[in-house]
Amino acid sequence: MFEKVKIINCPIYMNKSDIKKCIDLLGKDYTKIKCNIYFINNEIDFKNYAKDKLEDSYYEYKSGSLHGLCCSESSGASTIFVFIKNTISSYGVERCYYQKSILRVLYHELRHAYQHKELNLPDYKKELDADMFAAKIMQIYDKEINEIFKNYELYK
């Protein structure tokens, strides 16, 4: 469904097909979004995909916290970075927490891409809107998300 969304690389223990299935849960309003998604797993990914665009974010990346960033471009496209360094060590072998945490950040950033394209929200409302959206989607589609990721095992 989301032909304009390109997943450039994947988090460890997730694949493009399953991530796309999760994005498809968002529905047709989100088909208007044109974006590239980068999952920054480690320093090599940062150098390969993000360094030229996000030089100022290197120290934020090094902190190792799970977070995202949506950059709007003048063409109307967006670039989404999901920084997942140290996520496995933070969540251990609980694959559902690992995958759902990353997915929640992705939904949050996709909402920002949608805001750039479709919504005219004041800046002070954007973060709350994206947080509420991601939480709502994770709750509504919990069963479907569990089904998509049911065959994954961390540390086989």
On average, the pLDDT of the chain sits at: 82
Name the strand (E) or helix (H) holding 6: strand 5-7
Q: What is the CATH number of the domain that holds 126?
A: 3.40.390
Q: What is the pLDDT of residue 60?
A: 61
Rounded to 10 degrees, the C-alpha dihedral 83/44/54/87 comes to: 10
User: Comparing 120 with 130, which gets the higher pLDDT?
Assistant: 130
- 87: CB partners within 8 A, 6+ apart: 11, 66, 98, 101, 102
pTM assigned to the model: 0.87
Q: For residue 38, tell me if it sits in a domain.
A: yes
Residue 39 counted as domain residue: yes
How many folded domains does the chain comprise? Answer: 1
Render pLDDT for 53-83 as a digit per residue (tens, 0 to 9).
Answer: 776 665 566 666 778 888 887 777 889 999 8
- Residue 95 sits in which domain range? 5-148
